[in-house]
Amino acid sequence: MTVDLDLCYTPASVLARRIREGALSPVRVVENALERIGEINPRLNAFCFVYPDEALELAREAERKVASGEPLGPLHGVPVAIKDLTPTRGKRTTLGSHVYEHWVPDEDAVVVQRLKAAGAIMIGKTTTPEFAHAGTTSSPLWGVTSNPWDPDRTPGGSSGGSGVAVATGCVPLAEGTDMGGSVRIPAAFCGVVGLKPSLGRIPMDILPSGFDSLSHFGPLARTVEDAALFLSVTEGPHDRDPISQRDPLPLGDWPPACVDGLKLALSVDLGYRAVHPDVEANLRAAAAVLRDQGAEVEEVEIGWSEDIELVWEEYWSVFLAAFFGQHLDEWRSRMDPDVVAYIEHGLKLGAVAYKRLEIARTGFWAKLAPVLERADAMLCPTCAKPAPLHRGLTSYTADDMPGGVTMTCPFNLFGRLPVLSVPTGFTARGLPTAMQIVGRRFDDAGVLRIGHAVERGRPWADRRPPV
């Protein structure tokens, strides 16, 4: 069977509509997706598990339901991928770690339940670094995942496999998790859309603690509409997540209203990042698109320092130590050395020092809050530089530019702010760049509205990586 690339790159919303209309067979869609995975995975390592027999059986059942006129869900017959951090009933969920290599959960996470209830077909699980700890995707268990635009570079992480799966047309939608940018970073490096919804919009039920404030489920998608579709079928309260939103603000009709009259703030560097000139140029071009559509864009100084990254790092060390530190004595030699270092640091941090992080966090919020009081949203890069070579994110020196790469983790400290990453263009070397749209508290509809306007003015869904 020859892979139909046009079908591979058809958005989920279009696939779902054509399937409902009887114009497209879900069996054909799933067969094509499986063929594409067979082409891509040996080269880029996006999937650690693929379920061809089960996916085809579900596709045949989906086709039968269309023919019989049964009620169909919004994602009926559409193949999706689930990150290997997220529990799936009866299927191994390894968290990218030897520790969980043979774990088979008894039930699906709520986000998986809701995708299935909407008619989506889980076609496989995507690679992640151990315990989703990094902004790259490499694990002791599954090895290195590569960027489809340049396999010598990282696709980002920790939802790197999901980003690659969408960017290469293996699936139109993939689930990810975002604790410090793990949806938005791979979205930026792979040239797709990534959404960190407002905290609790999609119930987070996969952690030992039900009260974590860093963690979010979110989609990686080809279009902003597909990201909104994912959110619409997975949002809403659930008692497994005691801080899930009881009454999420409505997303509204699609397409959303225009951006005419919106006030937007623009920060190129958040006060501390050295930004690659192509990233900045594409950010400003995307901002100009919004101006052309009637938005008022004002450049602002946030006044943050790199200390905000250090605050997040302290939280992250404690997160890993509290949730996975019990495995250190037995599994140290088979764990990622960076995970070991995080856990060891987190175990040393005292309760008072940890509580004082909230004071620092509050200080940084005091600088951002006035900006979002005056503006409907803020625009900034997702990552300060294009995808690094396979050397990690902290020592990257592309084009002789030292310094950190990501600009995502500060917004996990303020989880109630939804953040959408959308492509803005490409560097001179052909690598994707992206912009974050940071919304007011719980205004997920607002960031999707702005992202859709950028998409109208600088469309990206027709761009395909050279694989």
User: Would you please indicate which residues are annotated as catalytic (active-site) residues?
Assistant: 83, 158, 182
C-alpha closest to that of 176 among 151, 153, 145: 145
Contact predicate 418/231, CB 8 Å: no
Assign 402 to helix, strand or coil.
coil
Over the range 161-198, which residues count as b (16 or more CB within 10 Å of their CB) and which as e?
A: bbbbbbbbbbbbbbbbbbbbbbbbbbbbbbbbbbbbbb
Give the Cα separation of 117 and 112 in Å (integer). 8
Sheet architecture: strand order including 47-50 = 47-50, 121-126, 79-83, 173-178, 216-221, 193-196, 419-426, 432-439, 377-381, 263-266, 296-299
Radius of gyration of the chain (CA): 21
Using alpha carbons, list the distances in angstroms from residue 343 to 76, 324, 347: 42, 8, 6
User: For the residues of 100-159, what is the DSSP string, one character each?
Assistant: GTT---SS--HHHHHHHHTT-EEEEEE---GGG-SSS-EETTTEE--BTTBTTB---SSS
